[in-house]
């Protein structure tokens, strides 16, 4: 249809605008309102005819819009003059279309088929739109299309009989090869012509169809309606849409949808049918399925309303569309207040935001969810409930919403709370027991170390003094060492006795008026030598009017403990400040230092018995961890309080004691005297000679090193010493001793770490040097650990010189010395 034909134009200003949003009322209105749809239908059906010519869409459409406008105009005129026929006129659009098709290589049969398909498209569209087309309009439509076809085929006209014969064959081929069921029937009730596809669908041969009235093939239930439709056709009314069932050759029935045009003057009916059996079957199955769904929904609602749990259903947006009777009975809501998102009103305010967030996020992600919340009952009280929801999908995987259930779990929740509380108490008790057991083991190991260390120096120097071979300078140093270590051990024992008295409730106070300034001065005099030796400045500011009622000896013990702790934990060059001042009716004593400080984790435990921040074998400071516990108990006995503060490790610490100006305790009987230490026995035999044996002594305690050096040198050994594990490794590789003697409890790297590094060395560097461990950790498991670590022998503190010399001599004889460097 060439573009040189009339151009498509819209309705004139005189024509009423088509009504949108409703079905067309006439065939003319159909051509006006659904013209684009008709174009698409026609192109879809015509395109297969021109496959070999490979025409574009524009070439296919050609002048069809202009032709449709001509048809619309003819139908409008027919509506205005229903009694007459429209005058036939020359169609430029059809003529141009014929010339275009001739140029592109089409033949008359294709053009004829195009116009037949145009008529079918218009009638099919009218059938789908349910347009009641009067016979007059059908005649106008048919006449107009026939006229257009005549104009289009003019270019194809030939005088040759052969050409006309070809055209006849083409028309017959079109009739026979059409994918539609075409037939020509007579008003007498017999088929006159049927195409091949008609026979293929029903299974009858042409002869069989021609020999019997077609009413014999119609389903009995459809015969009455078919007779009625035939009556209309006999009166010239075309059939736009009619359905009935035809019996096939195998005895089954197939649904056919008919469109027919009668020619009463010839007694013929031109009809086309479509096999819609599959569509009918699908529709029936769909209806059955819908009925089954309705039955299933009714059963679901019945079961849900009698279920022992609360059930709910939502739509795609998450709005609740159904809740069973259980929900309404529990919450007191109704469908008006509970459906949609009204059920949120029954949730406890504290749980509402969490519930809404979980519900919304799960709905967006199409994922199952489970959440607990408190739900308000009809009595206004809230009870715990668990809500479980699962997404619903149709057979194609489209999300439909959620289905879920709500169960009252208040009793279970209460049981869980009680069980969790019981488990928490049991867990706390177990942790406390484990911690107490660990503290006990650590305390036993610590007390063994702290008591044996001074004993080693005391007994060692005493035995050397008894030999009578020490020169006068060393005798004086020996006596000083013995006295210092004996006092240290006495203080340890006194602390243990104080703790025992505290635990048993036998610690008593001799209460009297106490001048705190005098008490503080005595404590300062006691710790100043140690502070001076470490170059630690001790500053004191004391209010001389500060006096309390208390036990002067015990208060001095408090001040001494705090000051000695401050000095012990303050590095060289630091300072300790003591301040005593009155605060209303309270006397406040503060000890502040610039020492290593207290970690935040250990600060709450600083006044507990046997607790030390550095409690392992690598600790840098001695002590049993009892001093501050004793301080707290004594202060509390005086009606006061003690507290500790620190900004963290390496930032110093501050201890504050607050005592009232008067107390109510009275003097109690004197405490029992402390037990006397046992007298050491004499050395049973002279030490063995170690002449020529080279020994390396590693110990962080200077007194212990000096004692061992003196003991070994007096036995003829060549002794070198080291104050730490690192120094010991360096000396070992430089001196290549025959025997290694090492303490276990040393700072930074203890004896276990030291021997591990030694054994990692090669033989040439001293990795196989025989070694003996000297340790105050004297338990059987400590001995086992020592031997497993790589030592050949274990000597507990206090060291018996004879035992140590015998062990060294044995190791020197058993293991030959390494080659000299």
> DSSP secondary-structure letter at 66?
H
256 φ, ψ (degrees, to nearest 5): -125, 140
Q: Percent helix, strand, coil in the chain (nearest 5)?
A: 50, 20, 30
The terminus-to-terminus CA distance of the chain in angstroms comes to 116
Q: Which pLDDT score is estimated for 357? A: 93
Angle at 23 between CA 17 and CA 24, to 5 degrees: 50
Give, as one character, the DSSP assignment of residue 614. S
CA-to-CA separations, 158 to 97, 107, 436, 542, in angstroms, rounded? 18, 12, 121, 140
3-state secondary structure of 217: helix
Q: Give the pairing of strands 181-186 and 191-194.
A: antiparallel
In 69-118 the beta strands, taken as DSSP E runs, fall at: none
For residue 55, what are the contacts with CB-CB under 8 A and spacing of at least 6? Answer: 47, 104
DSSP 127: H
The answer to whether the CB of 624 falls within 8 A of the CB of 450 is yes
Helix, strand counts (H, E) of the chain = 25, 22
3-state secondary structure string across 704-733: HHHHHHHHHHHCCCEEEEECCHHHHHHHHH
The DSSP call for residue 11 is -
Which tokens belong to 537?
């400045």
Q: Tokens representing 481?
A: 């060492």
User: Using omega within 30 degrees of 0 as the cis cutoff, is the peptide bond preceding 798 cis?
Assistant: yes
Whole-angstrom Cα distance, residue 467 to residue 447? 31
Q: Are strands 547-550 and 512-515 parallel, antiparallel or unpaired?
A: antiparallel
Beta-bridge mates of residue 404: 312, 389
Pairing label, strands 739-743, 771-775: parallel
DSSP β-bridge partners for residue 696: 720, 740
Contact 39, 107 (CB under 8 A): no
Task: Return the pLDDT at 760.
Answer: 92
Q: Which residue has the tokens 């006159």?
A: 192
Q: What is the distance between the alpha carbons of residues 239 and 127, in angstroms, rounded to a whole number?
A: 9
CA 691, 692, 693, 696 torsion-angle sign: positive
Residue 568 · residue 596 · CB < 8 Å: no
421 class by beta-carbon count within 10 Å (0-12 exposed, 13-18 middle, 19+ buried): exposed
DSSP labels for 552-585?
HHHHHHHHHHHHHHHHHTSPTT-EEEEEEEEETT
3-state class (DSSP) for residue 224: helix
Give the number of other CB atoms < 10 A from CB of residue 531: 21
Phi and psi at 15, nearest 5°, equal: -80, 140
Residue with tokens 């705090």: 562
Residue 795's H or E segment, with its range, is strand 793-796
Q: What is the pTM of this model?
A: 0.32
Residue carrying structure tokens 């190991």: 445
What parts of the chain have a pLDDT lower than 50? 2-20, 159-161, 616-620, 622, 663-686, 814-821
DSSP state of 255: E
Distance CA 134, CA 1 (A): 29
Contacts made by residues 37-43, CB under 8 angstroms, sequence distance 24+: 37/125, 38/68, 38/121, 38/122, 38/125, 39/64, 39/65, 39/68, 41/121, 41/124, 41/125, 42/117, 42/118, 42/121
| Lookup result for tokens 């461990």 | 773
- pLDDT at site 608: 78
**CA nearest neighbour of 773 among 745, 802, 794, 798:** 794
- What pLDDT sits at residue 132? 82
Quote the CA–CA distance of 133 and 28 in Å, as a whole number: 10
- So what's the pLDDT on residue 366? 92
610-620 tens-digit pLDDT: 666 555 444 44
Q: How far apart are CA 74 and CA 87, in angstroms?
A: 9
Strand locations in 90-156, DSSP E? none
Element (H, E) at 633: helix 627-637
Q: Looking at the DSSP assignment, which residues form a beta bridge with residue 312?
A: 323, 404
Give CA–CA dist 369/406, Å, rounded. Answer: 12
CA atoms within 13 Å, Cβ hemisphere of 312: 26
Give pLDDT, residue 695.
93
Closest CA to 711 of 406, 542, 478, 490: 478
Report d(CA 334, CA 404) in Å as an integer. 18
Q: Please, are residues 355 and 382 in contact by the beta-carbon 8 Å criterion?
A: no
pLDDT value of residue 667 = 40
Q: Which helix (H) or strand (E) holds 279?
A: helix 277-305
Contact 215, 226 (CB under 8 A): yes
SS3 406: strand
The count of other CB atoms within 10 Å of the CB of residue 610 is 18
Contacts of 49 (CB under 8 A, 6+ apart): 110, 113, 114
């Amino acid at each position: 249809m060439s573009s040189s034909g009339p151009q498509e134009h819209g309705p004139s200003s005189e024509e009423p605008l088509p009504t949108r949003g409703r079905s067309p009322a006439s065939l003319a209105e159909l051509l006006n309102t659904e013209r684009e749809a008709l174009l698409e239908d026609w192109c879809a059906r015509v395109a297969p005819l021109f496959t070999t010519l490979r025409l574009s869409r524009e070439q296919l459409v050609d002048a069809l819009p202009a032709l449709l406008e001509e048809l619309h105009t003819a139908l409008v005129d027919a509506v205005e003059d229903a009694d007459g026929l429209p005058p036939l006129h020359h169609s430029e659009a059809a003529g141009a279309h014929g010339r275009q098709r001739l140029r592109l290589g089409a033949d008359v049969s294709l053009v004829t088929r195009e116009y037949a398909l145009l008529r079918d498209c218009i009638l099919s569209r009218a059938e789908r739109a349910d347009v009641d087309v009067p016979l007059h309009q059908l005649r106008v439509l048919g006449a107009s299309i026939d006229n257009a076809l005549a104009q289009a085929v003019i270019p194809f006209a030939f005088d040759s009989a052969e050409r006309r014969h070809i055209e006849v064959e083409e028309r017959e081929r079109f009739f026979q090869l059409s994918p539609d069921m075409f037939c020509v029937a007579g008003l007498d009730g017999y088929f006159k012509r049927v195409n091949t596809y008609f026979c293929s669908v029903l299974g009858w041969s042409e002869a069989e169809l021609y020999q019997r009235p077609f009413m014999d093939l119609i389903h009995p239930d459809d015969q009455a309606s078919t007779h009625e439709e035939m009556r209309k056709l006999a009166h010239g009314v075309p059939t736009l849409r009619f359905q009935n069932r035809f019996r096939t050759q195998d005895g089954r029935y197939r649904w056919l949808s008919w469109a027919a045009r009668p020619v009463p003057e010839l007694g013929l009916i031109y009809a086309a049918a479509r096999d819609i059996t599959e569509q009918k079957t699908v529709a029936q199955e769909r209806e059955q399925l819908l009925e089954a769904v309705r039955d299933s929904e009714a059963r679901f609602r019945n079961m849900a309303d009698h279920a022992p749990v609360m059930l709910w259903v939502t739509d795609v947006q998450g709005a609740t569309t159904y809740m069973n009777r259980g929900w309404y009975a529990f919450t007191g809501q109704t469908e008006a207040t509970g459906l949609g998102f009204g059920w949120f009103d029954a949730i406890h305010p504290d749980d509402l935001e969490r519930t809404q967030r979980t519900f919304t996020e799960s709905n967006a992600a199409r994922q199952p969810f489970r959440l607990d919340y408190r739900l308000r009952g009809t009595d206004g009280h809230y009870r715990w409930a668990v809500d479980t929801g699962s997404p619903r999908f149709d057979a194609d995987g489209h999300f439909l919403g959620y289905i879920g259930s709500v169960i009252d779990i208040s009793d279970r929740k209460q049981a869980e709370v009680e069980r969790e509380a019981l488990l928490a108490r049991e867990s706390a008790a177990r942790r406390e027991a484990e911690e107490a057991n660990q503290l006990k083991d650590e305390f036993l190991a610590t007390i063994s170390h702290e008591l044996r260390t001074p004993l080693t120096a005391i007994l060692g120097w005493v035995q050397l003094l008894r030999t009578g071979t020490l020169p006068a300078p060393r005798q004086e140093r020996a006596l000083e060492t013995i006295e210092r270590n004996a006092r240290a051990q006495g203080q340890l024992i006194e602390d243990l006795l104080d703790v025992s008295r505290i635990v048993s409730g036998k610690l008593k106070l001799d209460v009297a008026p106490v001048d705190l300034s005098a008490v503080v001065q005595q404590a300062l005099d006691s710790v100043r030598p140690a502070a001076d030796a470490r170059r630690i400045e001790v500053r004191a500011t004391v209010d001389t009017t500060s006096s309390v009622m208390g036990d002067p000896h015990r208060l001095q013990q408090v001040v001494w403990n705090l000051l000695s702790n401050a000095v012990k934990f303050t590095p060289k060059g630091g300072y300790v400040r003591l301040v005593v001042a009155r605060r209303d009716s309270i006397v406040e004593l503060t000890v502040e230092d610039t020492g290593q400080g207290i970690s935040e984790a250990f600060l709450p435990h600083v006044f507990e018995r046997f607790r030390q921040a550095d409690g392992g074998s690598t600790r840098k400071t001695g002590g049993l961890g009892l001093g501050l516990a004793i301080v707290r108990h004594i202060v509390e006995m005086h009606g006061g309080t003690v507290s500790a503060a620190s900004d963290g490790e390496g930032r110093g610490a501050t201890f504050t004691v607050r005592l009232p100006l008067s107390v109510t305790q009275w003097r109690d009987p004197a405490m029992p005297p402390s037990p006397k230490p046992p007298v050491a026995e004499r050395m049973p035999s002279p030490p063995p000679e170690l002449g020529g044996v080279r020994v390396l002594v590693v110990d962080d305690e200077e007194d212990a090193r000096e004692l061992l050096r003196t003991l070994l040198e007096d036995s003829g050994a060549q002794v070198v010493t080291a104050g730490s594990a690192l120094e010991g490794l360096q000396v070992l590789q430089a001196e290549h001793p025959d025997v290694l003697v090492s303490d276990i409890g040393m700072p930074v790297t203890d004896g276990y770490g030291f021997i591990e590094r030694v054994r990692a060395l090669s033989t040439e560097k001293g990795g196989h040097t025989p070694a003996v461990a000297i340790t105050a950790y004297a338990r059987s498991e400590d001995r086992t650990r020592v031997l497993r670590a790589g030592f050949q022998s274990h000597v507990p503190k206090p060291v018996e010189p004879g035992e140590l010399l015998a062990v060294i001599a044995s190791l020197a004889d058993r293991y030959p010395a390494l080659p000299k460097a």
